[in-house]
């Protein structure tokens, strides 16, 4: 009976985390348009529901009823599989990120459960391994469409993600090296005792921040889509819910990256000037949501403030600037930790 209760409690926490991630991803589609409207002195969506809050729901219903077309010459199985491969890894990465401190007793089950779906000892490694799988959905989506613009967008995306994956990994490794553990809960505990990692690893944070934009194909690195050049890039031929899955995957990846930045460098659910043991769980969840929300807003702020890079500038920045800086920072961090 205790084992069954533990499994049910874990399933409840997993459902809450997944539901919250998808819900925030849906609201980000509204926030994207509202923030851009504010920055351009427009109103944005404000007709469906109060303040336009039901606009994502209306969009979801529209996608459900739109016709899904498979182009002539496309590979049917891979064409259908690509949106799933693009969205699923982004949803799975959130599983190892602690979104609160302590444990909460699940009602009716009387089973205390930590506020993380899976507290694995190699959480940082899991995040990198699962998150990097989403590029396969992008590549297959472009190749299986039998469209030259889609294929070009896929090739750009694969080159881009290879270029920035190394810098992202080294930036994360620097934070892991300081904390001495791949477990995200241990990294949080170290920050509670010694201060946030952004104070001792500002270079790693900046590298991670820039690489996160490239990893999620967001402006100014959105070369996988690049509407003025490639129509819509790798998802040009998609419609209906398959088209929606690509966008859900992108926004879920933004949520996961923002949550990881908050956890690795800003203490995640830690509340400033409040000891770890005395922080109530609801306040820690609020702190985590506020930090993650700031980085999500930063994604939107950057999109409507900076022009897109040229593709050669993107590659030069990744290989000639970010990678050497990340390597040097990792080497200096390792030397200091060893000494």
Each residue's pLDDT tens digit, 228-269: 555 566 777 888 888 888 888 889 999 999 999 999 999 889
The reported pLDDT for the residue numbered 66 is 86
Q: Is the CA virtual torsion 8, 13, 264, 283 positive or negative?
A: negative
Distance between CA atoms of 241 and 66, rounded to whole angstroms?
Answer: 8
* CA 240 – CA 62 distance, rounded (Å): 8
Calculate helix-pair angle for 148-179, 184-194, nearest 10 degrees.
Answer: 50
The 3-state DSSP class for residue 271 equals coil
Mean pLDDT value across residues 203-209: 94
How far apart, in whole angstroms, are the C-alpha atoms of residue 160 and residue 105?
44
240-265 vs 184-194: helix crossing angle, rounded to 10: 40
Assess whether pLDDT exceeds 80 at residue 303.
yes
Q: Give the number of domains in the chain.
A: 1
Q: How confident is the model at residue 141 (pLDDT cuts 50, 70, 90)?
A: confident
Mean pLDDT throughout 180-197?
A: 90
pLDDT of 212 > 60? The answer is yes
56 neighbors 64 (Cβ within 8 angstroms)? no
Q: What is the pLDDT of residue 290?
A: 94
- Collapsing DSSP to helix, strand or coil, 102 comes out as coil
Determine how many CB atoms are found less than 10 A away from the CB of residue 165.
18
Average pLDDT, the chain: 86
Q: Which secondary-structure segment (H or E) carries 298?
A: helix 281-303
Beta strands in the chain (DSSP E): 103-106, 111-114
DSSP string for 123-140: HHHHHHHHHTTHHHHHHH
Burial bucket for residue 166 (CB in 10 Å: 0-12, 13-18, 19+): middle
Q: What's the rounded Cα separation, in Å, for the pair 123 and 96? A: 6
1's CB contacts (< 8 A; 6+ apart) are: none
First to last CA, the chain: 51
Contact 207, 329 (CB under 8 A): yes
Residues 6 or more apart from 245 whose CB is under 8 A from it? 83, 84, 86, 87
DSSP 116: S
Q: What is the pLDDT of residue 229?
A: 54
Inter-residue contact 207 to 200 (CB < 8 Å): no
User: pLDDT digit string (tens) for 53-63?
Assistant: 888 888 888 88
Residue 270 and residue 102: Cα distance in Å, rounded? 11
In the DSSP assignment, the letter for residue 267 is -
| Tokens 């970010």 belong to residue | 322
pLDDT(2) > 70 = no
* Structural domain range at position 92: 2-338
How many of the other CB atoms lie within 10 Å of CB of 273? 5
């Amino acid at each position: 009976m205790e084992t069954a209760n533990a499994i049910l409690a874990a399933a409840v926490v997993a459902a809450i985390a997944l539901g919250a991630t998808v819900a925030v991803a849906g609201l980000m589609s509204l926030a994207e348009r509202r923030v851009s409207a504010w920055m351009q002195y427009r109103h944005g969506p404000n007709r469906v529901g109060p303040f336009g809050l039901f606009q994502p729901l209306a969009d979801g219903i529209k996608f459900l009823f739109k016709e899904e077309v498979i182009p002539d010459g496309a590979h049917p199985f891979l064409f259908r599989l690509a949106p799933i491969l693009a969205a699923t890894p982004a949803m799975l990465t959130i599983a190892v990120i602690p979104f609160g401190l302590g444990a909460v007793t699940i009602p009716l089950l009387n089973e205390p459960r930590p506020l993380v779906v899976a507290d694995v000892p190699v959480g940082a490694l899991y995040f990198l391994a699962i998150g990097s799988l989403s590029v396969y959905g992008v590549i297959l989506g472009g190749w299986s469409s039998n469209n030259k613009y889609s294929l070009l967008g896929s090739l750009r995306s694969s080159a881009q993600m290879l270029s920035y994956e190394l810098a992202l990994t080294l930036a994360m490794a620097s934070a892991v090296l300081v904390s001495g553990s791949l477990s995200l809960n241990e990294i949080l505990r170290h920050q509670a005792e010694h201060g946030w990692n952004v104070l001792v690893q500002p270079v790693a944070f900046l590298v991670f921040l820039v690489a996160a934009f490239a990893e999620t194909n967001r402006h100014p690195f959105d070369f996988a889509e690049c509407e003025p050049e490639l129509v819509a890039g790798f998802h040009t031929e998609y419609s209906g819910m398959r088209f929606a899955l690509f966008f859900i995957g992108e926004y879920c990846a933004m949520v996961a990256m923002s949550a990881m930045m908050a956890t690795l460098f800003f203490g995640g659910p830690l509340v400033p000037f409040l000891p770890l043991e005395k922080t109530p769980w609801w306040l820690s969840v609020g702190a985590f949501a506020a930090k993650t929300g700031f980085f999500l807003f930063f994604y939107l702020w950057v999109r409507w403030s900076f022009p897109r890079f040229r593709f050669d500038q993107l590659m030069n920045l990744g290989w000639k600037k970010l990678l050497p800086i990340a390597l040097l920072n990792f080497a200096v961090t390792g030397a200091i930790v060893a000494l």
